[in-house]
Amino acid sequence: MLGSRAEISDKPKKGRHIFDSRFLLLYLGNKSFIDHNPTPVMKNLYLLPLILPLFCCFSTAYSQASIDDGKALKSTIHIDNLVKKEMDKQHIFGLSLAIVKNGKLLMAKGYGLADIENNISASEETVYKIGSVSKQMVAAAIMLLMQEGKLELSDSLPKFFKNAPESWNKITIRHLLNHTSGLPRDSPLLDNIKQQPDSVLIEGSYKSKLLFEPGTNWRYCNLGYFMLADIIRQLSRQSFEDFMHKEIFKKYNLYSTRTTSFAEIVKNRASGYIYKSSDSIYNAKDYLSLRPSGAFLSSVSDLVKWEMLIQNNQILHKKNWDTMWNDKVKTSNSNLGPYEYYGYGWDVNEYKNLRTVHHDGTLPGFTSSYFRFIDSKSAIIILTNTHNAYPKNIVLALADLIFNEESKKK
């Protein structure tokens, strides 16, 4: 609609009455009108004196709207060009993008193909595997249980895993959230093509040695999020999947967001691909295991809803949302900047003096990046169905474009 308006308007001057006969002929020749009144269009010209004032009024308002929309259209064209250029450069097959600026949705749309074999276009409703972008949702579920008084972040693991080794006594829920537990990245029993309960994978890690004393270092750890999912199961007395669905996704109208399923029909699901060369494109393999560290399917449309839940302090109280990025740990022991930090399911950083919380996600055939610019209530979210793509690069290029335009206005 935005594009067609601008093209028709021919850049009319502000406040000028413009009557375009095309609108009138569209009305007089409207198919539904003729179907009910089989009189030829020209015989309906007796209506002209009645409807001409309406079109003149419409064209005045329409003229002003075209001017206002022109700036937005120009910005949209710049965004489209940037995204398409990066898609060509990175060999990305399908991509969905959403941009929230100053607390309002600026745009949400798809580019390329969600399904190459069936020639289905990507859109804002396309459903992708979001990989580790899921971690923030698991962390939010833990914070919700804390908010309800069902756990403390200082609770140690033996409270939930009775036969855990003594070396786990000092590991707390907080350590699991921010990757400072000292646990190995994954359970030694993890098999991505095999479905196993989280409890089996956790118990399979009992003999693993800690990489460092809990709380003294940082090392990315998917296993910790398997444990968080099992703690959610224990305290809620329902499966991890059911809790997330009932207490978060369904409750807050995130209709496309769910745990990954291969048996069930998922509307608008994207297929994942691996690019080898222009004539070598393959379907990506599927992980059959449900990985809480990267558990969910979602769309940019749903992630915009999620973003607004955060901004409006829903699900959690404001202080609990803030804790997720304010209680952060440095991710490197280096004394050389710039420093990077990790909160609860979020990387915490700055980009050109803008405070950001963000996370990327990767699974075979899918890559994603979700950046929040928290002081300006803005966010850029990109989901793709292409392995080895770098959507973060596109996000940062878009941030340059969007925030540079804003600074020029000032």
For the chain, 410 residues long, the average pLDDT of each consecutive 10-residue run is 33 33 32 33 35 33 38 79 97 98 97 98 98 97 98 97 94 98 92 82 93 96 96 96 96 96 90 89 83 86 98 98 97 74 97 95 96 97 97 97 68
Question: What residues does CATH 3.40.710.10 cover in the chain?
Answer: 91-409
How does DSSP classify residue 20?
A: -
pLDDT tens for residues 62-104?
333 333 445 556 788 999 999 999 999 999 999 999 999 999 9
Q: Give the pLDDT confidence score for residue 191 in this predicted structure.
A: 80
Q: Which residues contact 295 (CB under 8 A, 6 or more apart)?
A: 134, 138, 229, 244, 259, 260
Three-state DSSP class for residue 27: helix
Q: Which of 174, 297, 285, 305 is nearest to 244 (CA)?
A: 297
- Cα-based distances in Å from 116 to 23, 98, 275, 309, 366: 38, 22, 12, 33, 14
Instruction: Round to whole Å and give the CA distance between 182 and 29.
Output: 73
Residue listed under structure tokens 């309406």: 54
Measured in residues, the chain has a length of: 410
- CA 71 to chain CA mean position, Å: 26
Q: Which CATH architecture has domain 91-409?
A: 3-Layer(aba) Sandwich (3.40)
Q: What is the pTM of this model?
A: 0.81
Q: Which of 306, 315, 309 is nearest to 144 (CA)?
A: 315
Q: Give the pLDDT confidence score for residue 44 in this predicted structure.
A: 38
Q: Give the pLDDT confidence score for residue 263 in this predicted structure.
A: 80
Instruction: Round to whole Å and give the CA distance between 365 and 283.
Output: 7
Q: Please answer whether residues 65 and 18 qualify as being in contact, where contact means their C-beta atoms are separated by less than 8 angstroms.
A: no
